[in-house]
Structure 1
Amino acid sequence: MRVIAGSARGTRLAAPRGMRTRPTADRVREALFSIIQSRYELDGARVLDMCAGTGGLGIEALSRGASTCCFVEKDREALKCLRQNLLATRCAERATLLEMDLLRALPLLAGRGSRFSIIFFDPPYASELYTPVMRSLSSLELLEPEGLFIAESAARAILPEREGCLVRSDRRVYGDTALALYVLGEE
């Protein structure tokens, strides 16, 4: 796994051993960022990387010009690799780490008045987090009005077309990985 483009291009990213953390494949990240950059401006974007794992998505965004990224992760081994990756890519000064459960982190971020241009969500595929997280994002207003929420899942899993004010605008499948892109609509 490596950073594909931007200031940290080519930097290899550390990942924990075993299958507990499943980093987004380079080809999927490359396709995702091609989609993002064809529709949105990454320069100056505020990014939230939920279930961040090694931080590959958030670090890629920082490398391509995002101003800040908040990473939410609770696994100790993944956090160790995430810190190492932030240092290796020289992105640590623009990063915030929340070492906690995601469903506790979201109200905390909302309470701080945080709003994000782009939100990445890449939980373990078998997790039951998709619906509760989407409901929380919708009710807590963490996504900016012109923002983008991207949920990664197994290709066989079909995420809802709408959850609260989040409306699916696109879905792409790459092998066994699916990316669902959401924008804000009216409830």
Structure 2
Amino acid sequence: MRIISGKLKGRRLRAPKNLPVRPTTDMAKEALFNILNNQYYFDSIAVIDLFAGTGNISYEFASRGTKTVFAIDANYNCIRYIHTTAKELDLDISTYKSDVYKYLETTSLQADIIFADPPYDFEEEKFLAIVDLVFEKNLLKEDGVLIIEHSKHTKLANHKNHSYDKRYGGNVFSFFELVSDENSDEEE
């Protein structure tokens, strides 16, 4: 994996082979950040990276100047790798070893962007539970977005907070935003 842009642009990282991960491809990551680059100033946002794995997405945000990055994963080796790598690269990434669902139920942190990259073989209900928790617990700041990476076989567009999807090969990024009551009234 490599860091696409920012102060560490072009830097290649090699994660240990024994981590139970499937990192976001460089092509998909570059496309995602092209979208986000047009919507956010990275140095003034807070990001939560759920199912952080190797930290691929966290490093990208931190390299681009994001000062508040939280990486959450249930696997101790993943968290240890992210913590060690962030320290070596002088990136300010806070790591938390936690089950993502428990984390979402208990955290009071709000973020501008919450990115989730759960295992692709999750059942649709498990993906949608992430969306429900983020919005029930009010974890997004105003104009914030939840982005879930999943396979093209998973369909999440029926959720009321779904905005749009972007496809890159077999990868799909589903974007979710707060739906105001005014907008939902107008649609009826």
Q: Same fold (TM over 0.5)?
A: yes
Q: Equivalent residue for 1:109? A: 107
Name which of 92, 95, 98 aligns with 2:93. Answer: 95
Report the Cα offset of residue 90 of structure 1.
Answer: 1.3
Q: Equivalent residue for 1:56? A: 56
Amino acid at match of 2:131: M
Runs of 4+, deviation exceeding 3 Å = none
Amino acid at match of 1:26: D
Alpha-carbon distance in 1 for matches of 2:93, 2:18:
26
Alpha-carbon distance in 1 for matches of 2:36, 2:105:
26
Q: Equivalent residue for 2:152? A: 155
Alpha-carbon distance in 1 for matches of 2:72, 2:62:
15
Structure 1 residues 55 and 174 mapped into 2: Cα distance closer, same or farther (>3 Å)? same
Per-residue CA deviations over 1:166-186 (Å, capped at 9, x if unaligned) read x22221111111111121113
> What is the aligned length?
179
- Asked whether the 8 Å contact 2:20–2:53 carries over to 1, the reply is no
Report the Cα offset of residue 39 of structure 1.
Answer: 2.0
Name which of 165, 172, 181 aligns with 1:178. Answer: 172
Would you say 1:121 and 2:116 are equivalent positions? yes
Please give the root-mean-square deviation of Cα atoms over the aligned residues, in Å.
1.6
Per-residue CA deviations over 1:70-107 (Å, capped at 9, x if unaligned) read 1111112322321232123211xx22111011111112
SS in structure 2 of the partner of residue 32 of structure 1: helix
Query: Can you give the 5+ residue segments of structure 1 that lack an aligned partner in the other structure?
Result: none
| TM alignment of 1:62-81, pairs within 5 A | 62-81=62-81
- Asked whether the 8 Å contact 1:49–1:71 carries over to 2, the reply is yes
- Asked whether the 8 Å contact 2:54–2:78 carries over to 1, the reply is yes
- Asked whether the 8 Å contact 1:11–1:88 carries over to 2, the reply is no
